[in-house]
Structure 1
Amino acid sequence: MKTKTMLNSTSSTSSYFVLEAYLHVGNLRYLFFMLTAVIYVFILISNTSLIVVICMNRSLHEPMYVFLCSLFVNELYGSTGLFPLLLLQILSDVHTVSRPLCFLQIFCVYSYGSVEFTNLAVMSYDRYLAICCPLQYNTRMTVNKAVTFITVLWFYSLVKFLVTLSLNIRLPLCGNVLDSLYCQNFLVVKLACSDTTVNNIYGLFIVFITILVPLLLILFSYTEILKVCFSGSKQTRQKAVSTCSPHLVSLLNFSFGCCFEILRSRFDMSSVSTELQIILSLYFLIIQPLLSPIMFGMQMSKIRQTFIRLFCSKVTTVSAHENQ
C-alpha cells in the first residue's frame, strides 16, 4: 500500500507508468507466457494466411472480400499493439512501461477498436446491398468503392485518435499507476493534475461517433435484411443466413468485449473478481483476432475452398518432389 501511495505521488516529470493489474503468479508466469505466445502466433499465421489467399486469388477480388482483407489487417494491427508488450510484462518482475510506449499503445488499441467497429458496420451495409438490392449491387458497390470506404474509415479512425493523443500528452500527471494490464486512455486522464474538461468532452464525443454512428448503419442494414428474409423465399433466407451469420457473430462478440471494457474502466467493478476483470479486459483484444479468421475462413465456402486449393496443392507439390 505504501508503494502504491508513493508511486501515485510521483511528479508529472515521471518518464514511465506502472501497470498494477498484473498478478504475482510465480513460476506460472512461464505457462502464461507460452499460452499467450501460442495465441499470438496463431493470430499472426491465420490472419496473414487469409490476407494472402484473398490477395492472390483474382476470384476473391470482390467488395466483400476487400472488406474482409481490411478486417484481417486490422486484427494484425491490434494484436501487435497488445501482445509484444504483454509478453514482455508477463516475464518481467517490474511492470513498468515508458510514457512514449504507453501513449503509442493507447493509440494502437483505440484506433484498432474504431477501425474494427467501423469496418463491421460497412460490411453490414455491403450485405444489405447484396441481399436487398441484388440487381443493383454490382453498380452500387464496386471494388473501387470498397477501397474508398476502407481508406476513409482507416484515415478517420487514425486521425480521430491522433487528436486524442495530442490532448493527453500535454496533460501534467500527478501519478503513474494504471490499474490495468495495458495502457488505457481514460486511466491516464484520471491521473491528470490539471483541468481535463476538454479531454472529457472530446472523449465523450469520440465514444458517441465511434459507437452510435456505426450502430445506426448496422441497425438499418439488418432491419432491411430481416424484412427481405420474412417476405422472401426460402432460398433468400438461406443466402442471408449463410452470408450474415459470420458477420453477426463477429459483431456481437466484439460489441460485448468493448461494452465490458468501457464499463470496467469507468465504473466501480469491485464486486467482480480481479481474475475475471483481467480476462474480460483482454477479451476484445484477444478473442476477436482469434475468432475472425476462424469464422470467416471456415464459414465462407469460397475462402475455404481457395485456401485448401492454394496451400494443399503446394504441400502436395513439395511432397511429390521429395519422393522423386
Structure 2
Amino acid sequence: MEIEFNTSESFVLLGIEEMERFKYLYCSLLLLLYFFILLCSCTIISVVLLDESLHEPMYTLIASLLLNGIFGSSCVFPKLIADLLLSSKEISRVACFIQRLCVTLFAYNEISTFTIMAHDTYLAVGHPLRYPTLMTNPVALKLILGSLIFNFILMLPSLLLSDRLPLCGSHISNVFCDNPSILFLSCVNDSVSKLYGTIIFVGYLVFMVLLISHSYLRILLTCLKISKDASPASCREFCVSASPLGYLGNVFIKSPHPTQEAAL
C-alpha cells in the first residue's frame, strides 16, 4: 500500500480543541500569568539596569535568566491566548518551525544560564580573592552571548533534520509546536533524524547537570570547611546566600555576594 504524505501547509493543534470548553477561563488565567511574568521580570531587569551598584556578574546573570523567561513565555502564551479567543486551531508550517526553534532555544538557554550561575557562585566561594579578576561583568556577558550562539548552533541541525521528514499527519497533540510532536508525525524510519535531537539534548542536559553538581559540591565542601572555624549561624547564612534561592534573593535585599562573605 502506498503511503500518502501530508503536504498541507498547516498543522492542527489538538490541545487547543480540548481547552475550548472553558476557553475564557483559560484565557484569563494565561493572560494573568503572562502579565505576572512580564511585570516581575521587567521590574527586576529594570532595577539591575538602572542601579549601577548592581552591575555585577551575579545580577547580570539573574537579569539574563529572567529575560530568557520572557522570551520563552512569549513564544507560547500570546499565540495560545489568541487561538483560544479566535477558536483557531491551525498553525502554518513556517510559524510552527519558528515556534519550535524558539521553544527549544529557550530550554537550552535556561540550562546554560543555570550552569553559568553555578560556576559564578563556585568561583566566588572557592576563589574569593581572585574572583574580581576571574569573573567580571564583561566576562559574564561574553559567557551569556557565547552560550546563546553555541546553543543555537547545537540545536539547529535537529530542527532542520526533522523539518525535512515526510509527514503522514497534520494533527499535533499539544497547544503549541514542539519538535517531538513533529517527529511523532513522521511516517518514515529515519532513525538519524529522529534520534539526533534526543541524543544531543540528553547529552547536553547530562553534561550541564554534572557541571552544576560539581560546582555546588565544591561549594558544600567549602561550607563544611568554614563551619569548623565559624559560628553555626554564620555558616548557615553563608550557605543560604550561595544557594540558588539565595542567589535570586540578593536582588531584593542587596546582600553581599558569597565572595564578600567568604573573604571575611
TM-score range, shorter chain: 0.7 to 0.9
What residue is the counterpart of 1:14 in the other structure?
8
Q: Deviations over 1:108-129 (max 9, x none)?
A: 1111011001100110111111
Unpaired segments of 5 or more residues in structure 2? 255-264
Aligned AA for 1:30?
A: Y
| 1:20/1:178 contact within 8 Å kept | yes
Does 2:145 align with 1:154? no
- Using the size of structure 2 for normalisation, the TM-score is 0.86
What residue is the counterpart of 2:196 in the other structure?
202
CA distance in 1, matches of 2:245, 2:29: 26
SS of residue paired to 2:49? helix
SS of residue paired to 1:21? helix
What residue is the counterpart of 2:258 in the other structure?
none
SS of residue paired to 2:187? coil
What residue is the counterpart of 1:39 in the other structure?
33
- CA 1:16–1:25: 2 relative to 1, 3 Å: closer
What residue is the counterpart of 1:48 in the other structure?
42
Unpaired segments of 5 or more residues in structure 1? 1-8, 248-294, 307-324
Percent sequence identity is 32
What residue is the counterpart of 1:124 in the other structure?
118
SS of residue paired to 1:12? coil
Aligned AA for 1:164?
A: S
Task: Tell which deviates more after alignment, 163-172 or 87-96.
Answer: 87-96
What residue is the counterpart of 1:240 in the other structure?
239
| 1:131/1:240 contact within 8 Å kept | no
What residue is the counterpart of 1:223 in the other structure?
217
What residue is the counterpart of 1:304 in the other structure?
252
- Using the size of structure 1 for normalisation, the TM-score is 0.71
Does 2:65 align with 1:71? yes
What residue is the counterpart of 2:167 in the other structure?
173
What residue is the counterpart of 2:260 in the other structure?
none
What residue is the counterpart of 1:81 in the other structure?
75
| 2:155/2:197 contact within 8 Å kept | no
What residue is the counterpart of 1:321 in the other structure?
none
SS of residue paired to 1:97? strand
What residue is the counterpart of 1:111 in the other structure?
105
Aligned AA for 1:304?
A: F
| 1:118/1:210 contact within 8 Å kept | no
What residue is the counterpart of 1:212 in the other structure?
206
Structure 1 residue 200: Cα displacement = 2.5
Structure 1 residue 58: Cα displacement = 1.0
What root-mean-square deviation, in Å, do the aligned CA atoms of Structure 1 and Structure 2 show? Answer: 2.0
Q: Deviations over 1:266-291 (max 9, x none)?
A: xxxxxxxxxxxxxxxxxxxxxxxxxx
CA distance in 2, matches of 1:83, 1:239: 38
Structure 1 residue 305: Cα displacement = 5.1
2:130 counterpart (115, 136, 145): 136
Aligned AA for 1:142?
A: T
CA distance in 1, matches of 2:26, 2:218: 45
What residue is the counterpart of 1:29 in the other structure?
23
Structure 1 residue 244: Cα displacement = 1.1
Structure 1 residue 228: Cα displacement = 1.2
- CA 1:24–1:203: 2 relative to 1, 3 Å: closer
Aligned AA for 2:252?
A: R
Structure 1 residue 245: Cα displacement = 4.0
| 1:10/1:176 contact within 8 Å kept | no
SS of residue paired to 2:243? helix
CA distance in 2, matches of 1:224, 1:191: 45
Task: Tell which deviates more after alignment, 51-60 or 155-164.
Answer: 155-164
Structure 1 residue 170: Cα displacement = 1.4
What residue is the counterpart of 1:272 in the other structure?
none
CA distance in 1, matches of 2:60, 2:244: 18
| 1:40/1:79 contact within 8 Å kept | yes
